[in-house]
Amino acid sequence: MPQLTIEGLGSFDIPHGKRLINAIIDDAGGNQHYSCGGNAKCTTCRVQFIQGEPDRITEAEKTLLSASGLDKESGVRLSCQILCEHDMTIRLIFPKPPLKSPPHPSDDIQPPPVWINK
């Protein structure tokens, strides 16, 4: 099982392949924003990697990070577009619950991922 370490929250064993956004919410009890429901449309689920940033990225994530200028910030990635497949250490950027909660993100990455190298 990959281990997810979240600065200020602790370390958690995560089922292999689980979406990072859902690991933060369900397994670590983090209050993470996900305003678009985990569909690569908002960037509020973004986190900063301290260790273990994945090399691959979905096309949807790359496009949104680039369009919003976030691709220039070191280690910043969209937690709804990442699978827990190895140990990771992250920092939450928006550790507050949204005012209006959208539906819990689905188990699978949406839109269906097209993987490319970062």
List residues binding ligand FES (CB under 6 A). 34-36, 38, 40-45, 78, 80
What values do phi and psi take at 90, rounded to 5? -135, 165
HSE, side-chain direction, 13 A CA sphere, residue 98? 16
Q: Output the six-digit token pair for 62.
A: 């790359």
CB of residue 35 to ligand FES, shortest distance in Å = 6
CB of residue 41 to ligand FES, shortest distance in Å = 5
CB of residue 54 to ligand FES, shortest distance in Å = 15
Length of the chain: 118
Minimum CB distance to ligand FES smaller for 50 or for 93: 93
